[in-house]
Structure 1
Amino acid sequence: MPDYLQETPWDKRNFGIDTYEVTAMHNIALEATDKINGHFTIKVPPLEDPRQLLRHGFYYMDTLIEPVCQREDFHLLEQDGISVSQDYDVKAVLAIARQSFIHGRFHRDFHIPSKLADLRYMNWVKDLHDDKQVYALYVHNQLAGFFGFSGNQILLLGMKAEFRQKGLSKVLTSQCCKLLFDQGYEVLRTSVSAANVASLNLFYSLGFKLKNTVDVYHKLNGPDPVGAF
């Protein structure tokens, strides 16, 4: 497999088809995507002329924004009854993951069945759990959500429906960010869909500044995926 086509086995296991990330936008790379079946992702600067992508069957899927927070800019929020722990029922956390990611690019991809997009995020959370990279979020000892991370990267944030839109996710996320800063990191990073305004506002309120953006395009050759099983 050439360097400009990187296999993504974490997606293949959910969709049951070959999946790739395209790492270059030159003609050879794009022409290669015409010759094999599978699902392709390419991420490009937002000012890149998309006509070449469109000619090769790619379709716009999302714009990702990178919020970044320096330690000195961080706003710590506290509230009675709020706690964070790595002691949790993983099945309960996965149940939250199943309903938390409607803004994800695979949920928005009209070729991907919603149940497979849900499965992708649930498996991602399971991987993070296995690597001890999930914090459970509690409100008065009730599981309210989870926070997935890797190093200084904030990867996933999910809240139960009944705990949303109450200002709790802001406090809980702040507490998790503090734990990461306490590990010695000077800067935290995350990536948020431009469609997820609530999440962007959350991170902005905690001292994150919006930095880079990237446009994401998908392409599918062959039938729509039906899953690995």
Structure 2
Amino acid sequence: MPDYLQATPWDKRNFGIDTYEITSMHDVALEAADKIKGHFTIKVPPLENPRPLIQHGFYYMDTLMEPVCKQEDFLLLEKTGISVSQDYHADAVFTIANQAFMHGRFHRDFHIPNQLADLRYMNWVRDLHDRKEILALYVHNKLAGFFGFSGNHVLLLGMHEEFRHKGLAKTLTSQCCQLLFDKGYEELRTSISAANVASLNLFYSLGFRLKNTVDVYHKLNGPEPAGAS
């Protein structure tokens, strides 16, 4: 397979069709995607002319903001009764995850059934659990949510509905980020949909600053996925 066309088996397992990420806007890459059945993702700078993408059947899906926080800019918050730990019951975390992610780019993709977009997030959380890359968030010893990471990348933040909109996420996220800095990382990175203003404001308040932005386009060749493999 050409370097500019990369299979994404983590999405194929959810959607039951071949899935790919395209890493180039060159004509040869876009023309190659025209000849292969499956679902495609491409991420491009916002100022890139989208006409070639539109002409090849791509459609705009999302804009991802990529904030970065250096350790010297980080704000650590503490509050009585709040703690984070890698000790948790997996099923309890999975239950929260099943209700926490409803507005991702695959939920907005009109070719992807919502139940398969849900499955994608659930499998992602299970993978992070298997790799011991989840921190549980506790409020007075009650599980309030979870924080997913990989290396110095903050990946997922899920809160139980009982604890949302109570000003707790900021302190919980701060403590999780501190644990990552304690591992020796000099900076942390995350990726946030431009539609998720609340999350963007949360990370900005902790010292994260916008580093990069990319626009995300999808394309589907062939029938829509009907179920998971």
TM range (shorter): over 0.9
Paired with 2:172 and 2:103, the residues of 1 have a C-alpha distance of 20
Aligned to 1:160: 160
Paired with 1:101 and 1:152, the residues of 2 have a C-alpha distance of 22
SS in 2 for 1:76: coil
Paired with 2:99 and 2:180, the residues of 1 have a C-alpha distance of 26
SS in 2 for 1:2: coil
Give the percent of matched residue pairs that are identical in Structure 1 and Structure 2. 79
For 1:193, give the aligned amino acid.
S
Deviations 1:43-85 (A, max 9, x none): 0000000000000000000000011101011000111110101
Aligned to 2:111: 111
SS in 2 for 1:111: coil
For 2:41, give the aligned amino acid.
T
Aligned to 2:221: 221
Aligned to 2:65: 65
Q: What count of residue pairs does the alignment treat as equivalent?
A: 229
Paired with 2:56 and 2:210, the residues of 1 have a C-alpha distance of 31
For 2:175, give the aligned amino acid.
Q
Paired with 1:125 and 1:70, the residues of 2 have a C-alpha distance of 26
Deviations 1:19-63 (A, max 9, x none): 000011000100111111100000000000000000000000000
Paired with 1:88 and 1:189, the residues of 2 have a C-alpha distance of 25
Shifted more, 96-105 versus 138-147: the winner is 96-105
C-alpha displacement of 1:99: 1.6
For 1:201, give the aligned amino acid.
N
C-alpha displacement of 1:227: 2.1
User: Aligned ranges for residues 1-229 of structure 1 at < 5 Å?
Assistant: 1-229=1-229
C-alpha displacement of 1:103: 2.5
C-alpha displacement of 1:192: 0.2
Q: Which runs of 4+ in 1 moved over 2 A?
A: none
For 1:214, give the aligned amino acid.
V
Structure 2: any 5+ residue segments left out of the alignment?
none
C-alpha displacement of 1:100: 1.5
Deviations 1:2-35 (A, max 9, x none): 1111000000000000000001100010011111
For 2:42, give the aligned amino acid.
I
Over the aligned positions, Cα root-mean-square deviation in angstroms equals 0.8
Q: TM-score, normalised by structure 2?
A: 0.98
Contact kept, 8 Å, 2:107 with 2:114, in 1: the verdict is yes
Paired with 1:202 and 1:178, the residues of 2 have a C-alpha distance of 15
For 1:108, give the aligned amino acid.
R
Paired with 2:115 and 2:215, the residues of 1 have a C-alpha distance of 24
SS in 1 for 2:100: coil
Paired with 2:102 and 2:213, the residues of 1 have a C-alpha distance of 20
C-alpha displacement of 1:228: 2.2
Paired with 1:13 and 1:223, the residues of 2 have a C-alpha distance of 16
Paired with 2:101 and 2:44, the residues of 1 have a C-alpha distance of 23
Paired with 1:108 and 1:99, the residues of 2 have a C-alpha distance of 16
Contact kept, 8 Å, 2:116 with 2:228, in 1: the verdict is no
